[in-house]
């Protein structure tokens, strides 16, 4: 990572609202910094961030990777080399420009077999791309290893998301331990999502500061089912208010 790019990575166990919070971060950044260059990266194979942001990508980074790998397997190494050299431009072509931000989907998990040079090269291309943006928000798959391996070596702000469950809190603590070993980051904090006020005193987070408690929001849950974009949420909705509070505590806004 170069320059003053702020890279916000969102991680946690599945089903705790990582994608909604990632999307809320993107919306808040576009509103707070309308002239900033903002990149949203969907690093979750489920590609849920597309719905949350209301975007419809036609290609993914993994699609580019598979085309390069396919050229090698079909005995066309010269073509594969040319595609690698053009990868940066292909990725720019893959990006969507929506609502004052750019969007890039990583795609499905890597296929079996080792194409380490190809994957390492593409990870380097993504790292180079980050320098072209002021803010990068990564909606990660459950766990931190995938983010470290396939997207970035370093992040500036690590947001760990959990629900009030004991399992979710333990997963957050485990991810923090893994991050301490595998990822270089500047600041880390926890957001507890879908929580009832009476449950807050019983929530045990040992690994990092709790940045915000976001209450249960039946209206937002309904929006998820209907596939309504985060840009259509009211400003005072719990997920928007809680995410804004967390970004303020991390000195991002």
CA distance 191 to 23: 14
**Per-residue b/e over 122-148, b at no fewer than 16 CB within 10 Å?**
bbebbbebbeebebbbbbbbbbbebbb
Find the helix packing angle between 116-130 and 61-73, rounded to 10°. Answer: 150
Give a yes or no: residue 1 inside a domain. Answer: no
86-106: pLDDT as tens digits: 777 777 777 888 769 999 887
Stronger pLDDT, 115 or 153, i.e. the higher one:
153
Domains identified in the chain, total number = 1
**pLDDT value at 57 more than 50:** yes
Give a yes or no: residue 29 inside a domain. Answer: yes
What domain range is 148 assigned to?
Answer: 6-249
Give the pLDDT confidence score for residue 137 in this predicted structure: 94
pTM: 0.88
Give the pLDDT confidence score for residue 173 in this predicted structure: 92
Give the pLDDT confidence score for residue 14 in this predicted structure: 86
CATH code for position 221 = 3.40.50.300
């Amino acid at each position: 990572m170069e320059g003053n790019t702020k890279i916000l990575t969102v991680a946690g166990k599945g089903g705790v609202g990582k994608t909604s919070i990632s999307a809320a971060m993107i919306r808040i950044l576009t509103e707070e910094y309308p002239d900033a260059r903002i990149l949203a990266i969907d690093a979750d194979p489920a590609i849920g961030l597309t719905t949350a942001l209301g975007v419809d990508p036609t290609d993914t980074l993994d699609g580019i990777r598979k085309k390069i790998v396919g050229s090698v397997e079909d005995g066309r190494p010269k073509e594969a080399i040319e595609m690698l050299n053009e990868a940066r431009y292909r990725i720019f072509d893959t990006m969507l420009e929506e609502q004052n931000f750019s969007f890039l989907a990583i795609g499905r998990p890597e296929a079996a077999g080792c194409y380490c040079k190809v994957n390492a090269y593409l990870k380097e291309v993504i790292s180079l791309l980050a320098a072209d943006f002021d803010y990068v928000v990564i909606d990660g798959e459950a766990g931190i290893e995938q983010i470290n391996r396939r997207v970035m070596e370093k992040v500036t702000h690590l947001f760990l998301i959990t629900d009030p469950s004991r399992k979710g809190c333990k997963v957050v603590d485990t991810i923090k331990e893994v991050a301490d070993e595998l990822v270089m980051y500047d600041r880390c904090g926890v957001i507890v999502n879908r929580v009832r006020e009476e449950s807050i005193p019983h929530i045990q987070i040992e690994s990092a500061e709790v940045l915000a408690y976001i209450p249960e929001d039946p209206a937002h849950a309904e929006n998820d089912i209907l596939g309504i974009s985060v840009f259509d949420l009211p400003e005072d909705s719990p997920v928007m208010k809680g995410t804004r509070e967390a970004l303020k505590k991390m000195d991002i806004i």
